[in-house]
Structure 1
Amino acid sequence: MAPDPAGAALATAPAAGDAAGAEAARIARIRATLARMYPQATTALHWSTPFELLVATILSAQTTDAAVNQVTPALFARCPTPEAMLELSEDELGAMIRTIGLWRNKARNLLAACRILVERHGGQVPRTREELMQLPGVGRKTANVVLSNAFGIPAIAVDTHVFRVARRLGLATGTTPERVEQELMEKFPEAEWSRAHHWLIWHGRRICHARNPRCPACALRPDCPEGRARGGDAASLEAAAEVEPGRLPAGEAGGAGRRSSRE
């Protein structure tokens, strides 16, 4: 008797269902572990208004948050609004951010962005991604950071840490930040998007380094394809499970999770 094709298809259905269920359970464990490890994760940039966060995020491109936090207190004291920043010349603004990478381009972009804020938005930071991305120096990542942190609008900003960690954990396979963002939005519930962004950044800075990731000391290793491939021992995993949550490496943590004292 010839095999029944319908019966064969039904026979394979449970296996597919089991695989989907196992993957859903793996993702749920990753989410729970990240939440436990980094319960207070937030941006390390110092800011107290949407304008300050916008400026700090523009400055942070290809620069550490710690370096940005060194220059923004004086900058924000002198330029708390777009109107105030426009009182500076490009050279004057550049002198205030000179220690920041690409400071000439950033000074030019900041002044151009301030002109748009004043002329089109009444000096206020817009609340839509499309309007934010019309500002010089603002791409999708920066726009998502502002939306998420300044306005509480769910968004996942994909920087180098998020891109790397998401792919290593098997949460995304995309080769562009936009595709990885979309995949993460499908893996995490919308209510967790903003927190997931910070969880992945903190994990990338603290453990999942670009070079020499600390896989043996990572509590996510049992659910991480790359971590399992790299190996690890039971003692290291047990120690990782007891690690103090929410701590960034020395030099990374200064001000993390806090707004400016000027708030």
Structure 2
Amino acid sequence: MNKINFAKAVKLLEEAYEDWDAPAKRFERGYRRTPYTIMISVVLSFRTKDEVTLAADKKLFALADTPEKMVKLSRQEIEKVIYPVGFYRKKAQTILDISHTVLERFKGEVPRSEAELLGIKGIGPKAANIILESAFGVETVAVDIHVHRILNRWGFVSTKTPEESLKILKEKLTPAEQKGLNKLLVSFGQVLCRPVKPICSECPVVQLCERKL
């Protein structure tokens, strides 16, 4: 898929987006969204289904939705409310560590630069990009396994890892073209372009897709 067809595909998906009942879309209204709650939700979401993550978000943020409140909880209390997210014990400790770091190094405010975010233990490149886009409106893109898979299926990239896909996206697309791509493609992958048995008969971009996977 060349860049012209890629742009057409994205436009078609944007037009269809409102009709999708995708788990990824429910995050927009699932909890009080602040830079801090978005950052913690991103941590919870790794290797966990969106439905499970959102349920954990709601329970956890009902107890603590600021770093000041979070550090008053014990690791065991956090574990209890976020279960059954994947690696819930490790994530509970990570949440506490991140909260302490935000308080001690950034006066309780989530930093707005990628370099500062990456300096927080537990925040990697993908998480940093999601936080920058979702919390601060930065024109950037996060490439997770869903986005990586769809880009390869379309034939827009031919890569082995999400990191390789991210590098090519940043080379091929302007920051404005990158913005919103993660949310759009993740939702698309949940409702139509599934890893197994994609629903090509209902896909608005089927004529543009090279269907390489």
The yes-or-no answer on 1:86 pairing with 2:86 is no
> SS of the residue aligned with 2:135?
helix
The yes-or-no answer on 1:184 pairing with 2:169 is yes
* Residue identity in the other structure for 1:123: G
Q: Output one character per residue of 1:60-114: Cα deviation in whole Å (capped at 9) or x when no partner.
A: 1111222122122232132121121111121122112122221100001111111
Answer whether contact 1:35 1:199 (CA < 8 A) is retained.
Answer: yes
Pairs within 5 Å for 1:96-245: 96-226=81-211
The structure whose Rg is larger is 1
> SS of the residue aligned with 2:2?
helix
The alignment's C-alpha RMSD in Å is: 2.1
TM-score normalised per structure 2: 0.88
CA distance in 2, matches of 1:154, 1:43: 19
- Bigger CA drift: 120-129 or 175-184? 175-184
Percent identity over the alignment?
Answer: 31
The yes-or-no answer on 1:44 pairing with 2:23 is no
Q: Which runs of 5+ in 1 are unaligned?
A: 1-21, 231-263
Answer whether contact 2:38 2:135 (CA < 8 A) is retained.
Answer: yes
Q: Following TM superposition, by how much is the alpha carbon of 1:216 offset from its aligned partner in structure 2, in angstroms?
A: 2.9
Answer whether contact 1:171 1:184 (CA < 8 A) is retained.
Answer: no
Answer whether contact 1:188 1:196 (CA < 8 A) is retained.
Answer: no
CA distance in 1, matches of 2:83, 2:190: 25
The yes-or-no answer on 1:28 pairing with 2:10 is no
- Bigger CA drift: 112-121 or 176-185? 176-185
The yes-or-no answer on 1:54 pairing with 2:45 is no
Q: Following TM superposition, by how much is the alpha carbon of 1:133 offset from its aligned partner in structure 2, in angstroms?
A: 2.0
Cα 1:40–1:145, aligned 2, differ >3 Å: closer, same or farther? farther
- Bigger CA drift: 23-32 or 38-47? 38-47
Answer whether contact 1:110 1:136 (CA < 8 A) is retained.
Answer: no
Q: Which runs of 5+ in 2 are unaligned?
A: none
Give the structure 2 partner of residue 236 of structure 1: none
> SS of the residue aligned with 1:204?
helix
Cα 1:131–1:212, aligned 2, differ >3 Å: closer, same or farther? same
- Give the aligned length: 207
Q: Following TM superposition, by how much is the alpha carbon of 1:186 offset from its aligned partner in structure 2, in angstroms?
A: 3.6
Q: Output one character per residue of 1:135-157: Cα deviation in whole Å (capped at 9) or x when no partner.
A: 23221111111100100001111
Q: Following TM superposition, by how much is the alpha carbon of 1:25 offset from its aligned partner in structure 2, in angstroms?
A: 3.0
TM-score normalised per structure 1: 0.72
